Structure 1
Amino acid sequence: MGRKQAYTQAELLDTTKRLLLEHGYDGFHLKLLSRHLHGARSTIYQYYGNKEQIVAACMKSVMMNMLESASLVDESDCMKALEQVLRIYIQESAFHQLLGSINKINTADAPSAAEDLAFVEQSHITLKDQLSRLFARAQQQGALRKDVPLPILIGVFFNFINTPNMLGIPTAQWSRHLFDIWLNGARE
């Protein structure tokens, strides 16, 4: 008799995410995943048929969490909303870099992976729309410079997301520092 299933689909996706962040897409494989789970390797196949399906499902899971968090942002004060959105993005900044591997995922034999990746792409559009809406309102209200085109303001904002937290401070504090620098510059 084989080992009994000892992990849930959520635990499987969490472990997948951690290993993708540690090893990248190319270094991730199901044998590696099974070594980090307490249970039978065959349990992975009860949920997903191959690497492409599990990686796509992991990406979808992360995007679902980001969408949920972003949908809870109170947009009545656009500057506070932008700060909250920055925090959400910073919390997943390492995983965001892995989304660049999306084009490596072969979906020809994995229709569920294709569906999950389509969801990820649509989610990007939804998040971009929210961000564009907040930036436009902030600029219209005079909270942001009108002499700087929105794509530049948004581009600089996004660059802050990938700023390494060399101090190791909590995400909320780190994102507050970055937002302050983005908004006010580095001068005293």
Structure 2
Amino acid sequence: MGRKKAYTESELLDMTKKLLLEHGYEGFHVKLLSQHLIGARSTIYQYYANKEEIVAACMKRVIIKVIEKASAVDESNPMVALQQLLQVYVEESEFHQLLGDANKINAGVSVAVAQDLEYIEQSHEILKVQLMRLFGRSLQEGHLREDIPIPALISVFFNLVNAPNMMKLPLSKWSGLLFDMWLNGAKR
């Protein structure tokens, strides 16, 4: 009977996410990961062949959670749905910045990396289509200004995700405040 692994794949990906957030893509490496996991470095290679596979799998795992939460949003009221989507995005705001590093990963390293990166790209498209649909309905229902093009509204909306929560508010309050500022502005 073989020796039990000291950590699960889920624990490995949790630690990968933590280390990516702390060190960025360039500062992350397998040795660093193994230093933060209890067990032999060789256990990592039972799950993934290299850094690129680990990072791509970690990114895919996060985007799967975002897609699941975004898909669960009730779209019957498009403005409420947009506010809920913003909260979903804010919950993963730190990792959102790292998803920008997906283009740094060499998709040619393995089939697994290429497939995970393709999934991430398709997921972004799914989220974009959902936002376009909700913004279109919000505009049709008269909730948004007609003089601002939808791509501009979406761009500013999506960039709210990167706003630092300097007041350390709970995420639901923070995303609500961001949504209110986006929708109503800062004027009196």
TM-score range, shorter chain: over 0.9
Q: How many angstroms does 1:149 deviate by?
A: 1.0
What's the RMSD between the two structures over aligned residues?
1.3
State the partner residue of 1:47: 47
Extract unaligned runs of 5+ from structure 1. none
Pair 1:104 & 2:104 matched: yes
Q: In structure 2, how many angstroms separate the alpha carbons of the residues matched to 1:170 and 1:93?
A: 13
Equivalent residue number for residue 24 of structure 1: 24
Letter in 2 for 1:182: W
Tell me the amino acid that sits aligned with residue 26 of structure 1. E
Secondary structure of the residue that 1:108 maps to in structure 2? helix
1:59: which partner in 2? 59
Which string of whole-angstrom CA distances, capped at 9 and with x for unpartnered residues, describes residues 120-158 of structure 1?
Answer: 000000000000100000000001111211111111111
Residue equivalent to 2:127: 127
| Alignment-derived partner of residue 71 in structure 1 | 71
Structure 1 residue ranges, 4+ long, deviating more than 2 angstroms after superposition: none
How high is the TM-score relative to the length of structure 2?
0.96
State how far apart, in whole Å, the 1-side matches of 2:50 and 2:157 are. Answer: 36
Which residue number in structure 1 is paired with residue 10 of structure 2?
Answer: 10
What one-letter code is carried by the residue in structure 2 that aligns with 1:37? Answer: L
Q: What percentage of aligned pairs have identical amino acids?
A: 63
Q: 1:3 to 1:25 in 2, by over 3 A?
A: farther
Kept after mapping to 2: 8 A contact 1:67/1:123: yes
Instruction: Determine if contact 1:4/1:40 at 8 Å carries over to the other structure.
Output: no
- How far residue 167 of structure 1 moved from its aligned partner, in angstroms, is 0.7
Q: CA deviation at 1:159?
A: 1.9
Shift of 1:47: 0.5
Indicate the residue corresponding to 2:168 in structure 1: 168
Query: What's the counterpart of residue 159 of structure 1?
Result: 159
- Which has the higher mean CA deviation after the structures are superposed, 174-183 or 103-112? 103-112
Which residue identity does 1:147 align to in structure 2? D
Q: Aligned partner of 1:70: which letter?
A: A
Instruction: Find the counterpart in structure 2 of residue 140 from structure 1.
Output: 140
Cα displacement (A) at 1:109: 2.6
